[in-house]
Structure 1
């Protein structure tokens, strides 16, 4: 039974069509209310449209496909280019040689779903798809899922660094802790995937470029954080690396919340606050410089010529410098910082709930934005770094995966037109 949401189409290849199929095309356009003619030759489509109009005084909608596209794959993407797109619209292919009518499933963006682990899959299944389309859909999902796994590993998962290098960090300086070693190792993994992940090369290249911009703000020496004039490492008196680290922890908080890992989420939002406020105190009297203890000199984080090993002096310092002691968000942060000591990740056995972690997060973000404004931050804003980094690290699979599939099949180059 025909439905008002049914659309019929025929595919024509080459530069000419015999008389018999032309007559069947005219009959099909007359029979069906909505009819699309698909081909990769604008000359042939125009010729057939004019022939049909001369025969029955009606015209098909013409869809011109890229000459690089395989037409038998394009027919699975008509919904993407159709002028009256409808999620429930069905597309029936009419064979102009036999008159046989076949329902052709459409590869729709909304059909790509994610599971609890943020892995994307094609919900209707790949049955009924052209074998080439099936292969590309499966490969695009697999490549996206591998990149997502690496991003999750970067934010809240396992280290990318070898054990020996991890052990060496026990004697590392506070300056060395600002070098984003894990991000560098993550970048190495991504670079190795570029020649293999052909469907996502464009997205991987963009992600690698963004990661390199983050690495570019790492201070190469303590003097990079002490210069008066702006540098790659220092903008408006604020060391950029602390904002990058804060943003990465905030993204980790969001990812942990989505996975119901509330203890991880809480600790990440705490670190997001700690990193940002540690950087903000460079606007007052914080420095990184050589500090000698037991005959060993290391570049250390200092306030008032005292090496800082805990967060309490930073928290008190930020409250005093920005006059936040009576600020509601500052007091909320103080409450949760104190409560943190009772959690099972620290000195107690209780675990934070989602609501507690989210309330702390809201206070932290309001604090960060308030300090950004009070500190007259104009370049390398925390919000901008967050937006750009989230865009590159946490992709929307309903956009990225279908776009990669259409790009691979040249199905994105579909042009609908009416012949005058």
Structure 2
């Protein structure tokens, strides 16, 4: 399945997402520097924490609104608000004056927009895609996302300080292009059943009822939890693992270039990005003839093993080799894992399910923060065992629930397979 055969909405979303991520990647990863320079390091950390938690809270509303009122209306509203926020940020950092407090408020508005539109965007892609093309769709989006992040981060590193206003101008123009594409070229993909108009208290009650039903879906909750545990291994690279390497890795010499632990983390991230951009192009063909169950379990085992080595070793060749096998496993795992996720939610609550799944990155980051705290009291070996144990727990959960996953997604072919544990389908 190639790009040309996708539904128009999918093609527009891939293009729009690439542009937005590329320009956004030139700015937002560096906003901690901006905030710390204006408010100090401690206050900057607090402001960023507020920003994250606002996004998490709004994410639940985004899922509910999308299932209740449709996808497009919510996405258009969020993109309109985002465009106004970016224009305001641009004006507040123009050659004429600088207003960092308003800039922070507009960053928070952007987080609100992500929370509102995120579940709807994901649900819309599932709405308009066929099951047999989803692995291809997710592979291309995964490739485009990594390429845009690498592209944006590289340019932003050189331009952020001296050309902040120009970057915000480019971001505003890109946001306007995204709004135009979504408003005029994307059609509504989900029309909810008409019901009686609800009062605000009734909506609040329904929202809690929706998410109560989501969290009662044991299979879905376990699937998300397993994904969090496995993903946390990768996030440790820029968390505990980067701290450990910066402190423990002695000065190395490779091809006449001297470098330490911090530079080694940079090399590993670069290796990961380059490999993803190259290998993702072939991932769909590699997994097309393989059993999804086997791909998911095997790739998770290899992925966790690779990052387990990185969490402890100080040998640069072991580190490079471990990153290679972990990245290969990542490229094979991601489209299969996302394809399973696309088939789990019922249509009437798709965005609500995806809103809960959207917490994966935040919870994985919290695990990394906890690891840093624990590492102050544990030896490097004990910390590595702790990190690996979390990843192994994710693998065990996947092994336990995969038969039930296949039964829910392919009931006609999995009817006779018995699960090793009792899971509500």
- Category of TM-score, reference length = shorter chain: under 0.3
Q: Which protein is richer in strand relative to its size?
A: 1
TM-score by length of 2: 0.24
Question: Counting helix residues as a fraction of each chain, which structure ranks higher?
Answer: 2
In our comparison, the structure showing a higher alpha carbon Rg is: 1
